Amino acid sequence: MTETQLSEIRNYLLSKKLPIDILIEVNDHFVSQISDLQREENLSFEEAFEKVKDDWKEEFKTTVPFNVVANKDKRAITNFEKKIRNQNDREIIKTSVFIIILMIFVYLSSLFKFNFATFKYVHKSLLIASYIITISIVFFNLIQNRFMYNEKHKEYKFSVYQWRTTGVFSFSYLILLYLKPIEPIFQKILVYDFSYEVILKLLLFFSFYTIMLYTGIYHLKLIKTVKKVKPFLKYL
């Protein structure tokens, strides 16, 4: 396959507004499928290319995410990207929930095993660590991948993980403000008081940790995938 033909495939996929990490994967599929058709069915490049495009037609149909209220045309995504997003979401949610279960175990163990002063120390340490780690990951991403946010590249999506990496800190901070102070809730647990208020505030409290975990994992995934797509930037 010639460089001109490879360029034609890349340009076609770029026109579909795919995130670059997905585009690279799909590009490999296109090249492989076109080559197979040329060899097995004795088709020209253009004939094989048209046939592969037709095979991917359903995957490249676009939909607008339910949460998009402005610039719908620009923010529409393909069915293929939507499927990948959903798969990634499920994996990250599973990981976040698993870690949260471990954290709940740590909280309850500390609460009933140590005196309340020691528990408060454990609680504050976990709280501060979660904020520092997540914010460090986010800022590392913003510095390491700052090229993604400049004027030249603003029209491109570099990773399927790029869409859920901002706007969570204010929400998590509001949760903490609402719960402050949280220590009396844990004191009520010590006397087995599981009132509606206690349960609600516990759910909100661990929702805060879930949000921080979810955001941190998303940024780690973004950092990892953008590192892989950097060689592709010369084609943009």
- For 168, what's the count of Cα atoms within 13 Å in the CB-facing half-sphere? 21
Domain residue limits at 50: 3-60
Domain count, the chain: 2
Single residue among 60, 76, 97 that ends a domain in this structure:
60
- 109 and 14 inside one domain: no
Per-residue pLDDT of the chain (236 residues; tens, 9 = 90+): 888 999 999 999 988 888 889 999 999 999 999 999 999 988 899 999 999 999 999 999 888 766 555 555 666 788 999 999 899 989 998 998 999 999 899 998 998 988 988 988 888 888 888 888 888 888 888 887 777 767 677 777 888 887 665 556 566 666 666 667 788 888 888 888 888 888 888 888 888 888 888 888 888 888 888 888 887 777 76
Q: Is residue 28 part of a domain?
A: yes
Residue 84 domain flag? no
Are 52 and 106 members of one domain? no
16 with 93, same domain: the answer is no
Same domain for 117 and 56: no
- The answer to whether position 24 is within a domain reads yes
For tokens 């991917």, name the residue: 56
Last residue of a domain, one of 60, 79, 104: 60
Residue 44 and residue 100 in one domain: no
Report if residue 78 sits inside a domain. Answer: no
Do 32 and 148 share a structural domain? no
Indicate if 33 and 136 belong to the same structural domain: no
Residue 74, domain member (yes or no): no
Pair 126, 220 in one domain? yes
Burial of 189 by CB count in 10 Å (0-12 exposed, 13-18 middle, 19+ buried)? middle
pTM summary value: 0.77
201 contact partners, CB below 8 Å, separation of at least 6:
179, 182, 185
